[in-house]
Structure 1
Amino acid sequence: MVEQIHGVPVLHCAPEGHRLGAEREATDLIGEAWSRQANTVVIPVTRLSEEFFRLETRLLGDFAQKFVNYGIRLVFLGDVSAHAARSSALTSYLRETNRGKHVWFLADRAELTARLAPAG
């Protein structure tokens, strides 16, 4: 589903479905975003495997980098605190990405709507 939030076209992935994480799946989502004229893709964290949050697997980094390379904002929506509690490296990664404009880890829809609001 694509919706406009503060004038930003956002493609939402369904909360149900197979686990995402492979680079090919990132490329497929980027293609879908382009075809539907969305510049932001939201993925519920429930669609991600445990391995996705272990940085040594490189799944998260490689997946996110595809979106950065193609200029599509990537938002992971949901609670990742349990994953962050197990890894100081992941906690640092989350903090750094949330400071930027390309990859965000947000708790809920309200936080997404606030982040997409125009500045000022």
Structure 2
Amino acid sequence: MNIETHTIKDTIIAEVTSEDIIINSVEDGLDLLGNLYYDGFDKIIVYEKNITPNFFDLKTGIAGEILQKFSNYRVPLAIIGNFEKYESKSIKDFIFESNKSKHINFVKSLTDALKNLTA
């Protein structure tokens, strides 16, 4: 796992990259959040490819639990990926509602992620 730091307008953003899935469970998400928060990052970017597909099956509860923790700790999160492939109405609605809050963003590119996190 690699962490690239982006500093924009005094905001320190961690871009997490990896060749592997780094969030397989709620605990993995909490560990990532805790470690990056402890390291002084204000906001976090992760890639869809690094998150278990179970995250996008809302019945598992993984997405809800992880994103609730990001909200509780007030650490904005952007997830970069192609979300159009998900056909479930519930995940589409979930993504739509998350994007409205501006705290959790599902975006298509790093440029979009940085823009949303620093707006």
Report the TM-score when normalising by structure 2: 0.86
1:114 Cα deviation from its structure 2 partner: 2.2
Q: CA deviation at 1:65?
A: 0.8
Aligned partners of 2:26, 2:48: CA distance in 1, in Å? Answer: 16
The alpha-carbon deviation at position 19 of structure 1 amounts to 4.1
Is the 1:64–1:103 contact (alpha carbons within 8 Å) kept by the matching residues of 2? yes
**Candidates 46, 52, 57, aligned match of 2:55:** 52
Match of 1:41 in 2: 44
Aligned to 1:105: 106
Aligned to 2:90: 89
Gaps of 5+ in 2: none
Relative contact order (C-alpha < 8 Å, sep 6+): which is higher? 1
Q: Which residue of 1 aligns with 2:16?
A: 13
How many pairs align? 116
Distance 1:34 1:116 in 2: 16
- The CA RMSD over aligned residues, in Å, is 1.6
Work out which of the residue numbers 56, 69, 73 in structure 2 matches 1:70.
Answer: 73
Q: What residue ranges of structure 1 are gaps of 5+ in the alignment? A: none
Distance in 1 between residues matched to 2:24 and 2:73, nearest whole Å:
17
User: What is the CA-CA distance between 1:71 and the residue it aligns to?
Assistant: 1.1
Q: Please say if residues 45 and 78 of structure 2, whose CA atoms lie closer than 8 Å, have aligned partners that are also in contact.
A: yes
For normalisation by structure 1, the TM-score amounts to 0.86
